[in-house]
Structure 1
Amino acid sequence: MKIEMSKSGTVRKTIGMSLAVLLLFFALVEVGAWCFGVVPLSERSDPFLGFSDTSRLFRIENGRVEIDPRHGAFRKVSFTHPKPKGVFRIFVFGGSTVWGWPMGDAQAFPAWLEKGLQALAPGRQIEVHNLGAGSYASWRIRRLAREAAAFSPDLFVLYMGNNEFLEKRFYREIGERARRLPEMRGALHHLRTYTLLYDLLAPHTTPQPDDPFTSLLHPLDLPVRHDPEGYRDRKERAEIIRFFAENLEAIRSIAEAAGSKILVCTLPVNLLWTGPTRSVPVANRVLFERARRLQEEGKCEAALPIFERLAAEQPDSAELWFRIGRCRYERGDLGAAREALLTSLSHDLYPQRILPEMNGVIRSMAGVLLCDLDAIVSGEYPGGLIGEGFFIDTMHPSVAAHKRIAMEIGRVIVESGLLGDVRWSKETFQQAISGEEAAPTGKLYAQKLYFVGKTHLRAGEYEKAIEALRAAIEVAPYYAPLFDTLGTAYGKMGRNEEALAAFREAYRLDPDNIFAMLNLAIAERNTGRFEEAISLLRKAIGKRPDFFPLHLELARTAFQKDDLPLAQEAATSAVNLKPTDREAVRLLSLIESAQGDLVGGIRRLEALLADYPQDVQLLTDLARLVDRTGDAGKRDALFARALAIDPDYPFLHVSIAETALGIRDFDKALHHLDRAIALDPKHPYPYRLKGEALFEKGDREGARRALEAGIAATGSPLLREQLERLKGL
């Protein structure tokens, strides 16, 4: 018994000594870090504000309350505590709109609200404090409101709802264990030892202070990742809306307990000018791309029935409903346009705009003041479709719109009697906020233009996108994404050389960016520079071997260059990464067939067609392969089936023409080539085939005219070479 107790005591002593040595080691490291001036993360920043009860927004020094400087996502706020007699104190909560992105502090609506109210009540001291921060949603605002309630507020103003889907990880379904993680990490942030390990090991970047595109969001030291599927689950979306309502009610209770009133705003919704953040991919890409081109050429009457047909087949595609709404708007059917655009928003997988149901939640709140901005502003636009003019991008208002928001909130405050016998005067308020209309300049101006350009790009307004992006480049010529987005806009317009120049500059500025490399490679290929494209894609794959689009584009590029071994290797890699991807499987089938495995290629396409029975491109590809087997009956049946589904697919007519040329049926070939040219007059290949068909038919003059027409329409150097050869014969 004594021996066992002796052994037990020895073990305890050993463990105790080990722990003491370990603690002494870390204490020495901590002291050493202090000696060398290591600043703990807790003093640099606080990424847990709004997620942790241990983090605080405010600090109090010498009777003044200020925003803790670690919280760089907020505007500078300072006020006296305790509150002096006669002060009317308003706290405004929300996201980047309240913050005033991308304008200066003086042009955000809380600043206009203070000026206007002060003019209406010159005998009182009005304080309006801007507590907005980029991407803050109701969950974090609820915690901030609890803290602000300690400083004698007279009124809480809430302008929020656009960010509710951005922080899925932190919503109610998080388990208690995950919710405790920020508390533990928050404690570690006070240790210099942890800070040293963080700086050495954590995959993070340090924003440059002079970079105007550094995110306004406070960087989280947590791996917040969105589910790639987004919010398809309707129950999950309903839970987020319910949780939004719960947070609003909690903030109302916080205000009531603090003796404060609360004013809640509905948010105007940008339906017309910006598309969905993420949409279910359109299955029939061939038909969609043709309709998209028609729409962008201003031919909405032709595009609309195609979009509506696709939406009937795939009613959950937000992208299709957005384009339907735009087409209906262009033809003046405003009611139907609004219905389609609302449907698009309801199917957005990652909504970055408030949903109508959430505005409904705000309207239904009891015991609050309501400023129904959505109803007020939408009532001033045709069909209630707010767009460009009020907004500068997806959700952020212009300076004039910020003033309008301030005025409507001010009117509700005064008419509610919160300022006593102060009477509402629109003229006085407007006069107080007149002037200072200058747009943001310098870095903020570049930020604004960048997002304006992206918004125009998503709406298919490419000229406006290019104009905004080029203006932004004049201010920030060192920022690679500006050139990358500009290249995309040029590419959408078919201005391939200008797209190439923009993508080259983006790559020069950021040579390690995989997307810059990918976009440049595609631009090199589109301008016939296959070797450059292949070299760049191989280099990118060396950096990111698991990135599917790189392998797919390498396969496409090598196939177009007739480098079949490389094309097959790249397509096989793409299929291995995504075995069910339609385009990867289709491309591998065509490459295998070109390599001599015709039967294998046909089998792959037939299996793929079983999943996409209405896909005209697959039907056309399969018909072309079957033609090589000599089975004319099966080939013609596939062509007939494709024509019945989509008689306006240009490549289908080109393919039928090629088979007709193979049996010297020149009249049939010419009929389908004329149809292909009428459908897509910018593609040089049908002109080339038409020239060959007329020459073989004996009509040299007709062949010359066909090639000259193709040159005039496309500017193709290949057609010029063919015309020169014809003249030399």
Structure 2
Amino acid sequence: MCVGDRAAIFGIELPASTFSQSKSGDRLTAEPPPDVRRLSTGKKAVFALATLAAFFLVIEVALAVIGFPGDRIVDDPYVGFTGALPLMQASVGPDGDAVMTTAPGKLRLFNQQWFKTPKPAGTRRVFCVGGSTTYGRPFDDATSYSGYLRRLLPQVDPSSDWEVINAGGVSYASYRVAAVMEELADYQPDLFIVYTAHNEFLERRTYASIFATPDWQQSIGSMVRSTRTFAAIDAFVDLIATKQAPADGAVGDDGLAPPLADDDRGIEMLPGEVDERLNHTVGPSDYERDDAWQAAVVTHYEANLNRMVQIARSAGAAIVFVEPASNEKDCAPFKNQDSFFDDATQRFADGQYDDAQSLFAKAIDRDVCPLRATTAISKAIADVAEDQQVPVVPFARRLRQQCVEDWGHSCLGKEYFLDHVHPNIDTHRDLAVWIIETLVQSEWMDGTAPAAEVVAAVDQAIHQSLDPQHQGVAFRNLAKVMHWSGKFPEASRHAEDALRLLPGDPESQFVLADSLVRMGLIDLAIDRYQRLMDQQLYEPALLRFAVLLADTGRLDQAKPYTLMATAAAKSSTRRSALQLLVRIHTALGEDQQADEAVRQMRAEGTSADASGY
């Protein structure tokens, strides 16, 4: 039976052109109708992509229907940590209840905090996370915005028992803050307040994976990581890894599981605790301009903000970001290669405040050693907040408004900050109030912003609880940091702050005297050194003072301090003092004493060349 016959049996009418007689005349062969065409390669590709997209859409919808979480926390795609210790450890409180307390090994960078576990009924637990501003530097938790929140929140909403835990880590950047949040997410948080922005450029990272991946591919990767399908695959991989992981007892002598090597996850491994680039140099000199690296830092920062949102929401907690603010007017760039700051300062002096503010922002953005949040960092916060519907505390905007009311301009400076980023106590108080206003406006909590008299009462209680000795030491440490970084006007100001609280403190006087020398205020420096030496012969200052006196022609005054410096325990100080002594004796015509100093130098293996003085 031929094909035409079979078609007729089933009632199918075929066009005459469908079949043609074969050359032999005894067979019919099928020919395609003229309107049928082969698909082009491009159309096939489009069809394949559409099919693939439909397939994953079905999976995505199915995962949503069965309730698979869309906000599952994924790992940091760029860095991990070796040998990291947990922030909190189990302990027993004074009343015998189980509590979590800050691990002793973390107290160098974190405040001592504690909270009960499990969380008591009726308690609202707030974790404040971020860097040293959250910590409360240069002081501590007591005068931080966390400390103010701890006292203000019960006044605003007394219906809850409020717990405010300060989990700010000194020098912690967003990738370390996110790791802290992952740990704290296990302790029944109700809210995370995140202020992290100024430390993003502190540690070395190579970002090889970012530089090796085109922008379009990074964008697609970011989109894929936000899907339930990716989360499900990631969960499956984690499950397999867990089954293949060493048993609980297979840990090192330090009690830690063996760290992953770089190649195991394709990411860069950082030390368990902060390792600032500045710790390995004599100042910001280690930094060189690298716009590509800074752009990669911002990309990583934005990814971490998104991770923080995932972490909070996966724990059933709310999250708010704090808009960063910093001292732009009274803190020059740490490593300057342009004139933006000087131009801004001149415009400010001329009363051209808007132009000045714009130039101050450019100076921060172009700082080769960026220790303040740049415009790109601030924009990343705004973008993620808008995309993820996260409330933002308008810290910088509110502070600028206040600056206009207080001073007639919006250029933030020493009126609100103790150094480049750390707010003074009053600014911490105001930030706490603005955080509460944001929480009320976002309807996370009931009540209204605290009344002025309530804030004043809390403010008074905090100030009365302060320890002048503790504050003085904090100012002294701040002066030392500013001196080390080459910011001598700021160092001298903070040394004076320390001396008001620690009268006669030798270390503060030394920092002040040397800062005055670096500022070219020689007579004031000599006076400060002399006051220090009249009080006590402070060994670290002996040689510095002697050199200053010799350089200004006061050789007779310099000689006794130089002689005392030759007895210093530190060999480098002793060698330098002997070299200076040769110079002084020679200039005074005391040849015999000069020869004796040369012999002593040779006996110690020191060159007698005093040309360096």
Instruction: Give the TM-score normalised by the residue count of structure 1.
Output: 0.52
For residues 19-46 of structure 1, the C-alpha deviation after alignment (integer angstroms, 9 at most, x for no partner) is xxxxxxxxxxxxxxxxxxxxxxxxxxxx
Could you tell me how far apart the structure 2 residues matched to 1:330 and 1:103 are?
Answer: 32
CA offset at residue 108 of structure 1?
A: 1.7
Residues 264 and 362 of structure 1 are in contact (CA less than 8 Å); yes or no, is this contact kept in structure 2?
yes
Residues 525 and 533 of structure 1 are in contact (CA less than 8 Å); yes or no, is this contact kept in structure 2?
no
Q: 1:516 to 1:237 in 2, by over 3 A?
A: farther
Q: Given the alignment, which residue of 497, 519, 533 partners 1:468?
A: 497
Could you tell me how far apart the structure 1 residues matched to 2:83 and 2:316 are?
Answer: 22
CA offset at residue 158 of structure 1?
A: 0.8
Q: 1:174 to 1:144 in 2, by over 3 A?
A: farther
Q: 1:352 to 1:81 in 2, by over 3 A?
A: same
For residues 63-88 of structure 1, the C-alpha deviation after alignment (integer angstroms, 9 at most, x for no partner) is 32222233213222222222233321
For residues 223-281 of structure 1, the C-alpha deviation after alignment (integer angstroms, 9 at most, x for no partner) is 9525833141111222222222222222121112111111100121101122222x25x
Query: Equivalent residue for 1:639?
Result: none
Q: 1:104 to 1:446 in 2, by over 3 A?
A: same
Q: 1:470 to 1:355 in 2, by over 3 A?
A: same
Matched to 2:393, the amino acid is: C
Q: Given the alignment, which residue of 515, 522, 546 partners 1:488?
A: 515
1:69 matched to 2:90: no
Query: Equivalent residue for 1:372?
Result: 394
Query: Equivalent residue for 1:346?
Result: 365
Residues 500 and 523 of structure 1 are in contact (CA less than 8 Å); yes or no, is this contact kept in structure 2?
no
CA offset at residue 150 of structure 1?
A: 0.5
Could you tell me how far apart the structure 1 residues matched to 2:174 and 2:535 are?
Answer: 37
Q: 1:387 to 1:220 in 2, by over 3 A?
A: closer
For residues 175-228 of structure 1, the C-alpha deviation after alignment (integer angstroms, 9 at most, x for no partner) is 9xxxxxxxxxx945469xxxxxxxxxxxxxxxxxxxxxxxxx989799952583
Could you tell me how far apart the structure 1 residues matched to 2:548 and 2:496 are?
Answer: 23
Query: Equivalent residue for 1:392?
Result: 418
Residues 399 and 437 of structure 1 are in contact (CA less than 8 Å); yes or no, is this contact kept in structure 2?
no
Q: Given the alignment, which residue of 206, 216, 233 partners 2:290?
A: 233
Residues 119 and 428 of structure 1 are in contact (CA less than 8 Å); yes or no, is this contact kept in structure 2?
no
Residues 100 and 114 of structure 2 are in contact (CA less than 8 Å); yes or no, is this contact kept in structure 1?
yes
Could you tell me how far apart the structure 1 residues matched to 2:122 and 2:419 are?
Answer: 40
What SS does the aligned partner of 1:435 have? helix
Could you tell me how far apart the structure 2 residues matched to 1:269 and 1:322 are?
Answer: 14
Matched to 2:500, the amino acid is: A
Could you tell me how far apart the structure 2 residues matched to 1:240 and 1:405 are?
Answer: 27
For residues 600-639 of structure 1, the C-alpha deviation after alignment (integer angstroms, 9 at most, x for no partner) is xxxxxxxxxxxxxxxxxxxxxxxxxxxxxxxxxxxxxxxx
Q: Given the alignment, which residue of 455, 480, 492 partners 1:430?
A: 455
Query: Equivalent residue for 1:636?
Result: none
Query: Equivalent residue for 1:269?
Result: 326
Could you tell me how far apart the structure 2 residues matched to 1:256 and 1:138 are?
Answer: 17
Could you tell me how far apart the structure 1 residues matched to 2:565 and 2:279 are?
Answer: 29
For residues 136-159 of structure 1, the C-alpha deviation after alignment (integer angstroms, 9 at most, x for no partner) is 221211111110001111111111
Query: Equivalent residue for 1:357?
Result: 376
Identical positions, percent: 20
Could you tell me how far apart the structure 2 residues matched to 1:469 and 1:248 are?
Answer: 37
Matched to 1:379, the amino acid is: Q
Query: Equivalent residue for 1:247?
Result: 304
In structure 2, list runs of 5 or more residues that go unmatched: 1-79, 92-96, 211-250, 257-271, 595-610
For residues 343-375 of structure 1, the C-alpha deviation after alignment (integer angstroms, 9 at most, x for no partner) is 332332322222222112111113211112011
Matched to 2:382, the amino acid is: R
Could you tell me how far apart the structure 2 residues matched to 1:222 and 1:453 are?
Answer: 20
Q: 1:222 to 1:386 in 2, by over 3 A?
A: closer
What SS does the aligned partner of 1:363 have? helix
CA offset at residue 540 of structure 1?
A: 9.5
Residues 115 and 432 of structure 1 are in contact (CA less than 8 Å); yes or no, is this contact kept in structure 2?
no
Spell out the pairing of 1:276-425 with structure 2 (5 A cutoff).
Answer: 276-277=333-334, 279-280=335-336, 316-317=337-338, 320-365=339-384, 366-367=387-388, 368-381=390-403, 382-419=408-445, 421-425=446-450
CA offset at residue 499 of structure 1?
A: 4.5
Residues 488 and 515 of structure 2 are in contact (CA less than 8 Å); yes or no, is this contact kept in structure 1?
no
Query: Equivalent residue for 2:530?
Result: 501
Q: 1:401 to 1:462 in 2, by over 3 A?
A: closer
Spell out the pairing of 1:84-99 with structure 2 (5 A cutoff).
Answer: 84-99=120-135
Matched to 2:365, the amino acid is: S
Residues 487 and 503 of structure 1 are in contact (CA less than 8 Å); yes or no, is this contact kept in structure 2?
no
Residues 496 and 512 of structure 2 are in contact (CA less than 8 Å); yes or no, is this contact kept in structure 1?
no
Q: 1:174 to 1:501 in 2, by over 3 A?
A: farther
Which protein has the bigger helix share? 1
Could you tell me how far apart the structure 2 residues matched to 1:68 and 1:466 are?
Answer: 32
What SS does the aligned partner of 1:379 have? helix
CA offset at residue 324 of structure 1?
A: 3.4
Residues 378 and 386 of structure 1 are in contact (CA less than 8 Å); yes or no, is this contact kept in structure 2?
yes
Q: Given the alignment, which residue of 198, 218, 234 partners 1:162?
A: 198
Q: 1:328 to 1:505 in 2, by over 3 A?
A: farther
Matched to 1:498, the amino acid is: D
1:126 matched to 2:194: no
Could you tell me how far apart the structure 2 residues matched to 1:554 and 1:234 are?
Answer: 45
Matched to 1:336, the amino acid is: D
Aligned residue pair count: 436
Query: Equivalent residue for 2:183?
Result: 147
Query: Equivalent residue for 1:620?
Result: none
Larger relative contact order (Cα-Cα within 8 Å, sequence gap ≥ 6): 2
Residues 331 and 420 of structure 2 are in contact (CA less than 8 Å); yes or no, is this contact kept in structure 1?
yes
Residues 268 and 378 of structure 1 are in contact (CA less than 8 Å); yes or no, is this contact kept in structure 2?
no
Could you tell me how far apart the structure 1 residues matched to 2:546 and 2:89 are?
Answer: 49
- Larger radius of gyration between Structure 1 and Structure 2: 2
Could you tell me how far apart the structure 2 residues matched to 1:431 and 1:96 are?
Answer: 25
Residues 488 and 499 of structure 1 are in contact (CA less than 8 Å); yes or no, is this contact kept in structure 2?
no
Q: 1:377 to 1:52 in 2, by over 3 A?
A: same
1:59 matched to 2:89: yes
Matched to 1:408, the amino acid is: W
Q: 1:234 to 1:531 in 2, by over 3 A?
A: farther
For residues 474-513 of structure 1, the C-alpha deviation after alignment (integer angstroms, 9 at most, x for no partner) is 1x72x5354133342266323153144267589943x4x5
Could you tell me how far apart the structure 2 residues matched to 1:396 and 1:223 are?
Answer: 18
Q: 1:82 to 1:252 in 2, by over 3 A?
A: same
Q: 1:386 to 1:422 in 2, by over 3 A?
A: same
For residues 525-566 of structure 1, the C-alpha deviation after alignment (integer angstroms, 9 at most, x for no partner) is 224327679879999999459x9xx79x979x89x9699xx9
CA offset at residue 119 of structure 1?
A: 1.4
Query: Equivalent residue for 1:305?
Result: none
Residues 89 and 127 of structure 1 are in contact (CA less than 8 Å); yes or no, is this contact kept in structure 2?
yes
Q: 1:142 to 1:561 in 2, by over 3 A?
A: farther
Query: Equivalent residue for 2:267?
Result: none
Could you tell me how far apart the structure 2 residues matched to 1:449 and 1:57 are?
Answer: 27
Q: 1:400 to 1:248 in 2, by over 3 A?
A: same
